[in-house]
Amino acid sequence: MGKRSKVIEKDAVVIRFSGDSGDGMQLTGTLFSNTSALFGHDISTFPDYPAEIRAPQGTVGGVSGFQVHIGHKLINTPGDFTDILVAMNPAAVRANARWLRKGSTIIYDSDNFTEKSIQRAGYKADPFAEDKLDSMNLIAAPITTLVKEALKDMEIDPKTVLRTKNMFALGMVYWLFDSKLKYTEDFIEEKFGKKPLVAEANSKVLRAGYYYGETIEALTPSYRVDPAPIKKGTYRNINGNQATSWGVLAAAEKAGLKLFIGSYPITPATGILEELALRKDMGVKSLQAEDEIAGICTSIGASFAGRLAVTSTSGPGLALKSEALNLAVMTELPLVVIDVQRGGPSTGLPTKTEQSDLWQALYGRNGESPVPVLAAGTPSDCFRFGFEAAKIAIEHMTPVILLTDSYLANGSEPWKIPSTKDLPSITVPYAVKTDKEFLAYERDPETLSRKWAIPGTPGLEHRVGGLEKTIKGSVSYTPENHEYMVRIREEKVERIVRNIPDLKVHGRKTGDLLVIGWGSSYGHIITAVSELQQEGYSISAAVFNYIRPLPKNTAKVFAGFDKLVVCELNTGQFANYLRMKHQKYTYNQYNKVQGLPFTVKEIKDYCVKLLKGKKNG
């Protein structure tokens, strides 16, 4: 391919593909990400799209974006600011103007910058001037015209021709990075295998975009991002929903159980049901239930009958499931409830991220209802915590809530594929028939969990249910028995602390400031704190994955710092939880509730302010 004149070497670059929700930006972003990952970059992605499948064309509300951060260094976030923006229309410029770094490159489809579409996006006449972007490196490409030209000899309908525009843009970006087209071409072939004309059109346009980049080389620098120093091994790209699904599947295999999932479609959790529905080859039984309640109730039934049962949902669905979740608390059956959080309350912001279901997970049920709560930190981390949630559920005979969120569910990153032989073992507390009468609520003296007696086993016939029970499983309204059972269910969940790892501190164990977070804020917090450490601040971070129970060294970690700040995407749910659990500390809060993840910059700015700019000695 052509020789390049201006090549900018960078450690990391953020690219954002942006257009109408029907423009194929999610696919374009995914293909670029996978190509980069295959090349050896570390990556992190952030799809950001409207709830409407086809929102009004050309409006800012209808803009669908896919951001990917690629790096020669290790990448923990999808990036705060964009280096390269691909804008398919003026609305995409408007929606992303505030996220552009100085000196960014904007590639835009100039055919789509008509007076009408410019005004539709809320501009008067000149988008770049009005948003003060004229100093950026603007690359106008008449993509619509070029695509039509490239395909003029092919016998395909005009609609299909226009649908290939995203491939043209992708081809241009590939040229900027001197990327190989092979992965994308293979993908096109597989996807459109049955429609060879469509496949040919897409490939042709992809190449046309690439060569167009070469032709206009004078206008633009190209980028070189070397591969990242990544550990040896076999890798794949994985998003949070896929990782969660595979995590529970791995737990089932490890425990020698078959998996059942009963779920109801809900954004952004649906991917989990979809992923597991594919796995009939591995004996996964999946049911798309008639509603959220049936999702969890079929799962409880399956658990009673001896399967590892999972139900996946998002905040509104968890609300509907809460009564049944208590049935699992009362019957003490293993169950994994995955809540892929989104912006609330009510329908809220279905496609946007938030960490605001924490209290619902901890407290959103009637009666004294202890349920372990875990939260995954990164997309690939969802595998570990899917596995861990299932392990705790089985070994402690309890429902477990796993919190992920829209950011993790849709975000992806390269993942070093583990070998299942390295995963922890899972011991299933089966009941076995003995000479003695089987008592449904007899407990293991260590974990306090009851035994799992599987229907079909002779001699273990028993009844469970939502009414308060005696140790034998008989219904009991005796005052003392109720209090005993309430306390023992609580203690059972508290004792899980014996089997969970200590809280890790990122950085020194003492210092001026500890930045505390939980779940998906991991990447932004770790990146911000690492940068501040390099800048000389006495700062560390601790990001929780185990919310209930909290790790046993929590207070010890907190005691090492002068100041604590809890960063979370809600108005302070975890901070207040910590105030209750560890009262002697003072917690500063840094909160954001905009349906967006943190940026590294805003966390850094807040920390520097808290430290009053004071650096180490």
Partner 1 sequence: MAETNINHYAAKDFKSDQEVRWCPGCGDHGILASLQKTLAELDIPKEKYVFVSGIGCSSRLPYYMNTYGFHGIHGRAAAIATGIKIANPDLMVWEMTGDGDALAIGGNHYIHAIRRNIDIKIILFNNEIYGLTKGQYSPTSKKGLTTKTSPYGTIEEPFKIGELTIGANGRFFARTVDYNLQLSNEVYKEAARFHGTAVVEVIQNCVIFNDGTHDAFTSKENRDDNTITLRHGEKMIFGKNRDKGIILKDLKLKVVTLGENGITEKDILTHDAHEPNPGIHYRLAGMSLPEYPVALGVIRAINAQTYDAAMIEQHERVQAKSRIRTVDELLRSGSTWEVK
474 is a site residue for partner 1 (CB under 8 A): yes
Nearest Cα neighbor of 512 from 610, 592, 601 is 610
Please list every residue from 515 through 544 that binds partner 1, using CB under 8 A. none
Please answer whether residues 81 and 14 qualify as being in contact, where contact means their C-beta atoms are separated by less than 8 angstroms: yes
293 is a site residue for partner 1 (CB under 8 A): yes
225 is a site residue for partner 1 (CB under 8 A): no
- The phi-psi region of residue 544 (left if phi > 0; otherwise alpha if psi is between -120 and 50; otherwise beta) is beta
Q: Which stretch binds partner 1 (CB under 8 A): 164-172, 459-467, 520-528, 569-577?
A: 459-467
Query: If you search the block for the tokens 């901070």, which residue do you land on?
Result: 575
235 is a site residue for partner 1 (CB under 8 A): yes
Distance CA 252, CA 390 (A): 8
Name the minimum Å distance from CB 290 to partner 1. 4
Q: Which stretch binds partner 1 (CB under 8 A): 145-153, 173-181, 279-287, 359-367?
A: 279-287
Query: Which of 260, 438, 544, 546 is close enough to bind partner 1 by CB under 8 A?
Result: 260
Distances (CA, A) of 422 to 247, 254, 361, 425: 13, 11, 30, 9
Distance CA 542, CA 550 (A): 12
Name the minimum Å distance from CB 87 to partner 1. 28
Which tokens belong to 114? 């008509």
Q: Which stretch binds partner 1 (CB under 8 A): 101-109, 136-144, 462-470, 604-612?
A: 462-470
32 is a site residue for partner 1 (CB under 8 A): no
In sequence order, the 6+-apart residues with CB closer than 8 A to the CB of 330 are: 464, 465, 466, 467, 468, 469
Nearest Cα neighbor of 579 from 557, 590, 564 is 564
Rank residues 116 and 182 by Cβ distance to partner 1 and give the closer one.
182
Please list every residue from 35 through 64 that binds partner 1, using CB under 8 A. 37-38, 40
Nearest Cα neighbor of 569 from 361, 413, 407, 409 is 407
Name the minimum Å distance from CB 72 to partner 1. 14
7 is a site residue for partner 1 (CB under 8 A): no
Q: Which stretch binds partner 1 (CB under 8 A): 14-22, 452-460, 513-521, 570-578?
A: 452-460
Rank residues 142 and 283 by Cβ distance to partner 1 and give the closer one.
283
Query: Which of 169, 266, 309, 376 is close enough to bind partner 1 by CB under 8 A?
Result: 309
Query: Which of 180, 280, 581, 614 is close enough to bind partner 1 by CB under 8 A?
Result: 280
265 is a site residue for partner 1 (CB under 8 A): no
Query: Which of 49, 113, 210, 304 is close enough to bind partner 1 by CB under 8 A?
Result: 304
Query: Which of 101, 207, 279, 508 is close enough to bind partner 1 by CB under 8 A?
Result: 279
350 is a site residue for partner 1 (CB under 8 A): no
Q: What is the DSSP code (8-state) at residue 202?
A: H
Distance CA 343, CA 346 (A): 9
Pairing of β 373-375 and β 546-548: antiparallel
Rank residues 121 and 309 by Cβ distance to partner 1 and give the closer one.
309
482 is a site residue for partner 1 (CB under 8 A): no
Name the minimum Å distance from CB 243 to partner 1. 10
Q: How many residues bind partner 1 (CB under 8 A)?
A: 68
Name the minimum Å distance from CB 34 to partner 1. 6
129 is a site residue for partner 1 (CB under 8 A): no
Rank residues 281 and 435 by Cβ distance to partner 1 and give the closer one.
281
Please list every residue from 153 through 192 that binds partner 1, using CB under 8 A. 183
- The phi-psi region of residue 346 (left if phi > 0; otherwise alpha if psi is between -120 and 50; otherwise beta) is left
Pairing of β 539-544 and β 511-518: parallel
Please list every residue from 318 through 347 that binds partner 1, using CB under 8 A. 323-324, 327, 331
- Give the phi and the psi of residue 256 in degrees, each rounded to 5: 75, 30
Q: Which stretch binds partner 1 (CB under 8 A): 170-178, 411-419, 504-512, 516-524?
A: 411-419
Query: If you search the block for the tokens 């209808």, which residue do you land on?
Result: 62
Name the minimum Å distance from CB 264 to partner 1. 11
Nearest Cα neighbor of 95 from 125, 133, 68, 69 is 133
Amino acid at 237: N
DSSP per position, 296-363: HHHHHHHHHTTSEEEEEE-HHHHHHHHHHHHHHHHHT--EEEEEEE-B-STT-BTTS---TTHHHHHH
DSSP per position, 554-607: HHHHHHTEEEEEEEESSSSHHHHHHHHHSTTS-EEEEE--SSS---HHHHHHHH
511-518 β-sheet, strand order: 539-544, 511-518, 561-568, 587-591
307 is a site residue for partner 1 (CB under 8 A): yes
Rank residues 20 and 253 by Cβ distance to partner 1 and give the closer one.
253
436 is a site residue for partner 1 (CB under 8 A): no
Name the minimum Å distance from CB 432 to partner 1. 14
234 is a site residue for partner 1 (CB under 8 A): yes
Rank residues 160 and 457 by Cβ distance to partner 1 and give the closer one.
457
Which tokens belong to 549? 């129970």
DSSP per position, 139-162: EEE-HHHHHHHHTTTS---HHHHH
Rank residues 194 and 232 by Cβ distance to partner 1 and give the closer one.
232
27 is a site residue for partner 1 (CB under 8 A): no
- The phi-psi region of residue 57 (left if phi > 0; otherwise alpha if psi is between -120 and 50; otherwise beta) is beta
Q: Which stretch binds partner 1 (CB under 8 A): 265-273, 283-291, 312-320, 589-597?
A: 283-291
Rg (CA), the chain: 26
Name the minimum Å distance from CB 129 to partner 1. 43
467 is a site residue for partner 1 (CB under 8 A): yes
Query: If you search the block for the tokens 């959220």, which residue do you land on?
Result: 292
426 is a site residue for partner 1 (CB under 8 A): no
233 is a site residue for partner 1 (CB under 8 A): yes
Q: What is the contact surface with partner 1 in residues (CB under 8 A)?
A: 34, 37-38, 40, 183, 230-237, 246, 249-250, 253, 258, 260, 262, 279-283, 285, 287, 289-291, 293-294, 297-307, 309, 323-324, 327, 331, 416-420, 455-467, 474-475
